[in-house]
Amino acid sequence: MPIATVNPATGELVRSFPSMSPEEVEERLALSAEAAREMRRTTFAQRAAWMRTAADLVTAESRDTAGLLTEEMGKPITQARAEVLKSARTMRYYADHAEDMLADQPLGDPAAVGASAAFTRYEPLGAVLAVMPWNFPMWQVIRFAAPALMAGNVGLLKHASNVPQTALYLDDLFARAGFPQGAFQTLLIGSSEVERIVRDRRVTAVTLTGSEPAGRAVAAVAASEVKKTVLELGGSDPFVVLPSADVQAAARTAVAARTVNNGQSCVAAKRFIVHTDIYDAFVQAFVEGTKALVVGAPMEETTDVGPLATETGRRELVELVEDAVSLGARLRCGGAAIEGQGWFFEPAVLENVTPEMRLYREEAFGPVAVILRVADVEEAVSVANDTAFGLSSSVWTTDADEERLLVEGLDAGAVFVNGMTVSHPELPFGGTKNSGIGRELAAEGMREFCNLKAVWKG
């Protein structure tokens, strides 16, 4: 795949970049190793000052940077601005809290291990390679980079090939903020080069956000080199609505949960599991809300849904819908490519989706919603868990017993009750089953790329 910005709204090539030569990559790896040694000697206070400066730069440049995100992958400009400002907030969050998160933890009773004192401490691992996707081209990187750098690690970014300008912006950002040279670097390379970088002895750990096949491939290489890996992969998140819920509020939120970021989010709600008693009311409101969305030019302030990021992605989405309809699914709205320039797609809602359809099992990476009818909370849990994924979930009920059954019963990395799944720097983020291993964000995410060292004193 070429390393190039292709505007999804027009299909036009904006700018292309040559892949870095082996010599350039070697230079950056060597610089990364030097920076890792230097970063270990810095203090939390120094790193926090640099991180706050980086956050200030991101905030000051947010208008132009948001435009870049929209140009590269097509998200509505309002959502691009929100992504940039959320990234800045996350950088400040880790600048403020990293030292407390990684503070030494004394053992309550050192005498139990025959010591005068005993404690654990967190230390940086070194150079962490991040293989990142295009759908949140700044946020996905910052939620790795901010905690990793604040812990004293250094970062190497292999970004998606269709967002090279965002990658280069990030390459320059941390240097401008004052971090040591080489503390964060972008590698403009193709996917075929990733294995070589993972195997390099100067790379100590790997984090990947992306598809399940990509995660399996990178994890296999990292495991063969005995290197720590964090994976955030696909999702087919359930959105469960039960009779005690505010059905209209749930339906409004459901529309946003399925179509945010043009529907291209691992953690978007994708399967809407609705109790039969309120099924018709929910579906009517959900379909009406979906039809009311403004699909259009992503730079327009009034646009709700922009184009899909790639032509291939749109074609795959159309094929999923056509397969379901051919096997008996009912298409309530949308579901087709929009003629003309760019890779626009009509947001779709489908009923009567059954297990023999691809759409029942596969992740639809775009604005396609599947609505499933259930008779009770037990069936809702069973249907919700009938997937290879387990990233997040959203449940709508005001009944305490139902809430308990759902929170305890759902196989997912998170459960949001009466609200839409949203990632926050304060909450650990990650999944179960084929959705990945490890966690990002919060203290748990920061500690993933630290050595937990036990210290015993006689």
What are the catalytic residues? Answer: 232, 266
H helix runs in 76-162, sequence order: 77-101, 139-150
To which residue do tokens 């990733």 refer? 194
Quote the tokens at residue 443.
């203290």
Decide the pairing of beta strands 237-241 and 394-396: parallel
Dist. CA 208–CA 132, nearest whole Å: 6
Task: Show the CA angle centred on residue 21, arms to residues 15 and 23, nearest 5°.
Answer: 145
Task: Show the CA angle centred on residue 435, arms to residues 348 and 161, nearest 5°.
Answer: 75
Dist. CA 14–CA 399, nearest whole Å: 52
Residue 184: strand pairing partners: 155
104 exposure class (CB count in 10 Å sphere: 0-12, 13-18, 19+): exposed
Task: Provide the CA 351 distance to its chain's centre, in angstroms.
Answer: 27
Phi, psi torsion values for 11, nearest 5 degrees: 80, 10
To which residue do tokens 């230390």 refer? 123
Containing 437, the helix (H) or strand (E) segment is strand 436-437
DSSP annotation of 19 reads: P
